[in-house]
Each structure stands twice: as C-alpha cells, then as structure tokens.
Structure 1
Amino acid sequence: MTTVTHERHPIFQDWQLARLLIAEMRRLHERQLVQSLAWVVMPDHLHWLVQLQETSLAKLVLQLKSRSAIAINKARETSGRIWQKGFHDHALRLEEDLTATARYIVANPLRAGLVKRVGDYPHWDAIWL
C-alpha cells in the first residue's frame, strides 16, 4: 500500500512527525488489525507491506490516516489535511517473492538519493531483521 501526503508536502522530513505516523502504524499492528511486514516512511509518502487480519485495507488506511493526521496536527498546532485522498494498493500473487518486495520497499530512500546505505535511513522496518 502506498499513500501520499496532501500536495506531496514533505512533512515527514521532520523526524518527530515521521515517528508519530510510525506510532500509529505500530498501534494498528499491536491491535492485531494488521501484520506489518515491511514499511518505509518517505518525506512525502508511505509504503507499507501488510498482511490484513481483522479489517479491510480501506478501513486500515482510513484509521491510519485519521489518527496520524490528528496526532500530526496536534504536534504542529495546526489543523487541516495531512493526506491526499485514496491510496494505491497491489495484492501480491503467490508467485511474487515477498522478501524481494520488502527489500524493494525499504530501499526507496536509497533509490531516492536520501542516503548512501539503507541502514542510514531512520524510518523503515521489516520483520526479517
């Protein structure tokens, strides 16, 4: 799943705001609505490889966006949109390599030129670590 910030503002360049989003992702994981397999928070978007458990993808994304927007607006003492409407999804087929997809996701900062090594980027995780 990929979702983008409103007007692609790079709000997640701010370390604290990125960590607020990650906290909401972890909360959804801890509530067993989803199993997070791999993710990366880029400056203006999120890539999240998940296995759904107790909810639909649409409900999961709605919860993530609404709760993270509330937390981010509170931290910035602002109001307004944080996320663009909608999201992009791609269901993996049985023949698709799950770990290769996860590697592709977490390597986004490297391909974007944000870091020279994946391990230097602070906002990603994968269950294979």
Structure 2
Amino acid sequence: MMEKYHGRQLRSGRYSQGGGVYHVTTVTRHRQAWFEKAELARLMCRTLLWSDQQGYTSTYCFVVMPDHFHWLFSLQGKHSLSSTLNLVKGRSGRLSGGKIWQRGFHDHALRNEESIKDVARYIVANPLRARLVYSLRDYPYWNAMWL
C-alpha cells in the first residue's frame, strides 16, 4: 500500500532555520504524472531556480520526477521552510494551469555530519533507480551546483 503524506503530521515539530540545508520531497495530487509532459517538467525546473533568483533559497541540486520532486537547498532570507514551499508550489501550480500538488511535503534538515554531496548523489540518481533512464545524462530534469 502506498503511503500518503499527511500535511498536519508532517508539520508537527518542523523548525525552519535561515541558512539551514534541507532535503525536501513533495508529490503531486493523487500521484498524477504531471511532469511526464516535458513543458511542465521544464516549468518546474525553472520554478525551483526562480526561488534562488528571488533570494528564498540557494539550490544544491534537484530532480523533477513524473509525479514528485526532490530538492536540496539552503534556506535564505526571512522566509520559513513552509512559506518557501508554498510559494514554489503555488507558482508552479498557477503556471501549470492546475491544482497539481498534494498538501504538505516531507523535509529533512541535514546535520553537520551529513554529507551534502552524498544526499545530492541520492537525489539526482532517482531517475536511475526508477528505471526512467539507464544513464543520468539521458534525463533532462535535474541540476546540481557541481556541474
């Protein structure tokens, strides 16, 4: 049985720290594969980069999968983690022309001893594990600051 993300449960105990590094995952409503459409997947990639341009985040890496995305970033400015994700999900939904997101998101604040590069490798390897491609160079909807 597929687990559902329950917004209320995910918010309990959540703390946002400016400059903190977060791995965030959020899924589409009913796990609908919105991002199988290249136009919408590219729009989502641009929205994540828009967040950096607006000064909300500083992205280490992301991958947009057909029905969810993973994003590793440091939180910038005075926005909380929740408000930043609300801005990103709201903007991408408006630009996509639909209510595409399930409520809530999963987040993990990285601790000092955790390796940002190890988490980034895990994130960008998602298309390989999902067998969408056999080589990461064949999957267009990801980015990492180390390139």
TM category (shorter chain) comes to: over 0.9
1:20-54 CA distances to partner (integer Å, 9 max, x unpaired)? 11121111101111001010000000100010001
- Corresponding residue SS for 2:121: helix
Q: State the partner residue of 1:76.
A: none
Aligned-partner Cα distance in 1 for 2:115–2:33: 30
The corresponding residue for 2:117 is 99
Q: Say whether residues 1:39 and 2:62 are aligned partners.
A: yes
| Counterpart-to-counterpart distance in 1, 2:128 and 2:45 | 20
Aligned pairs, number: 123
- What is the aligned partner in structure 1 of residue 96 from structure 2? 72
Partner residue, 1:6: 29
Residues in 2 aligned to 1:23 and 1:125: alpha-carbon distance in whole angstroms? 11
TM-score calculated relative to the size of structure 2: 0.82
SS at match of 2:108: coil
Unmatched 5+ stretches in structure 2 = 1-23
Q: Which residue matches 1:112?
A: 130
Q: State the shift of 1:111 in Å.
A: 0.3
Percent sequence identity over matched residues?
Answer: 48
Distance 2:136 2:95 in 1: 27
> Which secondary structure does the structure 2 equivalent of 1:28 belong to?
helix
Unmatched tracts of structure 1, length 5 or more? 74-78
Name the one with the larger helix percent.
1
Match of 2:107 in 1: 89
Aligned structure 1 segments of 4 or more residues deviating by more than 3 angstroms: none
Query: Distance between the aligned counterparts of 1:56 and 1:50, measured in 2?
Result: 13
Partner of 1:90: helix, strand, or coil?
strand
- 1:126 corresponds to which residue? 144
Q: Give how far 1:116 is off.
A: 0.3
Counterpart secondary structure, 1:89? strand
